[in-house]
Amino acid sequence: MITGEALLLLALFLGVLALTVVPLGNYLAAVLEGESRVVRRGLRVERAVMRLAGANPDAGMSWKAYALNVLVFSTLGVLLVYALQRLQAVLPLNPQALGAVTPALAMNTAISFVTNTNWQAYAGEATMSHFTQMAALAVQNFLSAATGIAVAFVLMRGFARRESATVGNFWVDLYRVTIYVLLPMSLVFALILVGQGVVQNFSAAHAVTGLEGARQSMPMGPVASQEAIKMLGTNGGGFFNANSSHPFENPTPLSNFLQMLSIFLIPAALCRAFGKLVGEARQGWAVLGAMTVLFVMMTVVLFAAEAVPNPAVVAHGADPSLGNLEGKEVRFGIAGSSLFAAITTAASCGAVNAMHSSLMPLGGLVPLGLMQLGEVAFGGVGSGLYGMLVFALMAVFIAGLMIGRTPEYLGKKIGSFEIRMASVAILLPTLLVLGGTALSVLLEAGRAGLLNPGPHGFSEILYAFTSAANNNGSAFAGLSANTPYYNTMLGTAMWLGRFAPMIAVLAIAGSLAAKKRIPAGDGTLPTHGPLFIILLTGTVLIVGALTYLPALALGPVAEHLLLFTGR
């Protein structure tokens, strides 16, 4: 049974989040459109930086030019992060004298952080030097997040502009998001985390004597600065292997609440920014409403699943009223751990404060399901909004077919090109997930990484490819992924899962920006009320169910049936 504590925590979380949507959303819209006073005051510096980088801040880009700049910039980022990992043994700030990262792992990690996935097939404190953590990984935490937000604004401009051949300037968008949004927010949040006890230093590991007299090594490093952007940018990569369950990353219930809140801050505010740019705030609220409905539905299922104890544990005398405490931090309890798991997989964050592999089978189905819905409730910074808007195009297309009208959304007619691109954005990650899982189950190299048999082992592989292709980065655990096979397969899934949908979204934006805006008529479908929220939510759920239910039946559902029948 769901506890009152869990529902109260969910209500408190959503209430505090709601208070931030309007001010932050207004600020985001003002910054990206150059209307903020802080942007106008910094224009001279911005132009100097653009000239230094060889970019023309006054030149608008077509969607193709924008996409090319995104791909070139991201490819250079992969090469730089790879090089820093391979050279870390001779670079400074390496107090533990850690050696070079192996080639396959270095490439997998480089792709992971550049794509905003932050999948980690390594233990951070034993693999990455302080310099690598800062100069390679933390830098990409900022840049990959800024890229996602920039692309979301391009799609917003596609709806807002009329007969325009340009969709913005990538370098200006990237600069403004990084300098005026992510950096100041991360600085403030990092100071708050330090106040809560998160570590921030350049020391080597400390040798200490524990309460039981055993000697152990306590890793140190610049944690708070990476933790802040890890959450605000929906990155998720932990400084330590234990991620946000480590007391040096997440020491108190308050820090846990603030970290959960920080994951959703920008994705939720972008919905308000969307309403501002298209000139009708209700459109943004409708999208935010659909996101909230999906998130609450899935979170309540997770709360209910984790409130039930494992019958095998109860059979050995455990108190059934405690629920499923396996794999959870007692500092946060079932409610704090379950809500964190739902938030981090609803967004493309991937940070964890509990072991997802230890969730009850139906509890584990929720993080899987949230990722498989496309991470659109609320999704990653930028990617959540543009993913939900792609589903909105699909929803109005279906509605148009039902009533025999040409579909339109926000005054733009939706044609075959937009639907083809929307199909690519929705279906390609699905192909990567199901195709990668099927191949890994068939091949010995894929099965060799499994530590658990049966349906749970299948869920481990399914979760890994779901996480990679949807750029989440969390893991079910129990899968030894630091192998040439998984480093290559998951790296490929991360790259294609990030940039193929992103290019499709940019193509949609370019097509919409070039169109006229037609006035609403008697037959126009209202896209700002409860009916549209239901239609949009239903479209997301139906597409996800039709795609993934057979795979989920082989994994979490089968495990649930076996567990509760004593097998």
Q: What pLDDT, in 10s, does the model give residues 442-459? A: 999 999 988 888 999 999
Tokens of 433: 């997930």
Give the separation between CA 182 and CA 289, rounded to whole angstroms. 25
Q: What pLDDT, in 10s, does the model give residues 178-229? A: 999 999 999 999 999 999 999 999 998 888 887 788 888 889 999 999 999 9
What are the φ and ψ backbone dihedral angles of 217, each rounded to 5 degrees?
Answer: -100, 125
Residue 317: Cβ-neighbour burial (10 angstroms; 0-12, 13-18, 19+): exposed
In a domain, 343, yes or no: no
Q: What pLDDT, in 10s, does the model give residues 353-369? A: 999 999 999 999 999 99
3-state class (DSSP) for residue 227: helix
* Distance set, CA 375 to CA 117, 391, 418 (Å): 12, 12, 20
In a domain, 178, yes or no: yes
The residue type found at 513 is: A
Q: What pLDDT, in 10s, does the model give residues 387-421? A: 999 999 999 999 888 877 778 899 999 999 999 99
Give the separation between CA 435 and CA 451, rounded to whole angstroms. 21
Q: Is the pLDDT of residue 316 over 80?
A: no
Q: What pLDDT, in 10s, does the model give residues 230-248? A: 999 999 999 999 999 999 9
Q: What pLDDT, in 10s, does the model give residues 136-170? A: 999 999 999 999 999 999 999 999 999 999 999 99
Count of the separate structural domains present in the chain: 1
Give the separation between CA 258 and CA 20, rounded to whole angstroms. 13
In a domain, 300, yes or no: no
Q: What pLDDT, in 10s, does the model give residues 423-442? A: 999 999 999 999 999 999 99
What is the reported pTM? 0.95
In a domain, 114, yes or no: yes
In a domain, 481, yes or no: no
Which strand (E) or helix (H) includes residue 549?
Answer: helix 530-552
Residue 213: its pLDDT value, please? 82
In a domain, 35, yes or no: yes
Residue 95: its pLDDT value, please? 93
Domain span at residue 26 reads 21-205+218-279
Q: How confident is the model at residue 1 (pLDDT cuts 50, 70, 90)?
A: low
Is residue 460 within 8 A of residue 442, CB to CB? The reply is: no
Tokens of 24: 């932050």
In a domain, 243, yes or no: yes
In a domain, 198, yes or no: yes
What are the φ and ψ backbone dihedral angles of 100, each rounded to 5 degrees?
Answer: -65, 145
Helix, strand, coil in percent for the chain, rounding step 5:
65, 5, 30
Give the separation between CA 366 and CA 342, rounded to whole angstroms. 7
